[in-house]
């Protein structure tokens, strides 16, 4: 092989490495959590496409943007690939995870399958923010339809989200101050986001 051909190959390898590195950096930046998760204006300033995606979900399913965002704040704190912690075998060895929940919305495998079938979306991803927004909107629409919960009632929507339709009907949350506390935090966060959004 001549020196000219060798140089061409070296340049090609360098370009491939540079492009791969750039793609990695872009994906890392786009999926990193916002720096100010408690300020919805700061979130939307930093993550330029997120407001559009949240509004798209609101328009399609009816859950207001502040409630959608409060759900993600509670579920994953805006970590794209969030997963529940693993159980420990014998208190030491990492074992199975507590559930199959994954992504921004912490959607379980079962709920995600239901969503894909019902919403007729082909390839949604749980670690895609727009897809997570659509999932939460769809889930709350289902809670509204099946359980009669108003789409503006963040507290009860979250109770249904956390316990599932069957658990909500059975009143599982009524016996759990912990679950009620989670729902109150979501409702409070939604109220704060709503106030902030009016001032953005």
Least confident of 3-12, 41-50, 70-79, 164-173: 3-12
Lowest mean pLDDT among 58-62, 100-104, 126-130, 196-200: 100-104
Q: Is the pLDDT of residue 61 over 50?
A: yes
- Crossing angle of the two packed helices 65-75 and 154-170, in degrees rounded to 10: 60
**Stretch 175-188: mean pLDDT, rounded?**
97
User: Is 151 found in the same domain as 81?
Assistant: yes
Q: Are residues 99 and 168 in the same domain?
A: yes
CA dist., res. 27 & res. 20, Å (int): 11
Q: Verify that 1 and 76 share a domain, yes or no.
A: no
131 φ, ψ (degrees, to nearest 5): -65, -40
Task: Judge if 77 and 162 occupy the same domain.
Answer: yes
Domain co-membership, 149 together with 51 = yes
Same domain, 12 and 85: no
Question: Any idea which residue has 């690939």 for tokens?
Answer: 81
Burial status of residue 24 (CB atoms within 10 A of its CB: 0-12, 13-18, 19 or more):
exposed
| Cα gap 101→157, rounded to integer Å | 18
Distance (Å) of CA 111 to CA 54, 115, 116, 162, 164: 20, 6, 9, 12, 9
152 contacts: CB under 8 Å, gap ≥ 6: 64, 67
Same domain for 46 and 8? no
Shared-domain flag, residues 93 and 175: yes
Mean pLDDT of the chain: 83
Q: Are residue 18 and residue 90 in the same domain, yes or no?
A: no
- Per residue in 103-114, pLDDT tens? 999 989 898 988
166 falls in which pLDDT band (50, 70, 90)?
A: very high
Is 86 found in the same domain as 17? no
Q: pLDDT tens-digit profile of 29-40?
A: 447 999 999 999
Backbone dihedral angles phi then psi of residue 102, each to the nearest 5 degrees: -155, 150
User: Do 15 and 39 fall within a single domain?
Assistant: no
What is the domain range of residue 15? 1-31
List the CATH number of the domain containing 39.
1.10.530.10
The pTM is what? 0.80
Looking at the fold, whether 14 and 41 belong to one and the same domain comes out as: no
pLDDT-based confidence at 137, cuts 50/70/90? very high
Q: How many domains is the chain built from? A: 2
Distance of alpha carbon 182 from alpha carbon 148, whole angstroms? 21
């Amino acid at each position: 092989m001549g020196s000219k051909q060798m140089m061409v190959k070296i340049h090609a390898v360098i370009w491939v490495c540079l492009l791969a590195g750039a793609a990695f950096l872009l994906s890392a930046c786009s999926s990193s959590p916002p720096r100010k998760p408690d300020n919805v204006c700061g979130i939307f300033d930093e993550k330029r496409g997120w407001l559009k995606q949240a509004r798209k979900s609101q328009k399609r399913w009816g859950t207001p943007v502040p409630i959608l965002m409060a759900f993600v704040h509670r579920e994953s704190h805006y970590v794209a690939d969030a997963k529940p912690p693993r159980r420990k075998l014998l208190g030491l060895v990492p074992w199975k995870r507590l559930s199959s929940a994954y992504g921004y919305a912490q959607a379980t495998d079962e709920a995600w399958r239901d969503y894909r079938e019902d919403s007729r979306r082909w390839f949604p991803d749980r670690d895609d923010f727009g897809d997570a927004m659509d999932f939460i909107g769809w889930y709350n629409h289902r809670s509204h339809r099946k359980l009669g919960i108003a789409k503006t009632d963040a507290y009860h929507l979250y109770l249904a989200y956390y316990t599932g339709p069957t658990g909500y009907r059975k009143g599982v949350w009524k016996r759990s101050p912990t679950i009620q506390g989670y729902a109150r935090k979501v409702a409070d966060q939604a109220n704060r986001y709503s106030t902030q959004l009016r001032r953005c």
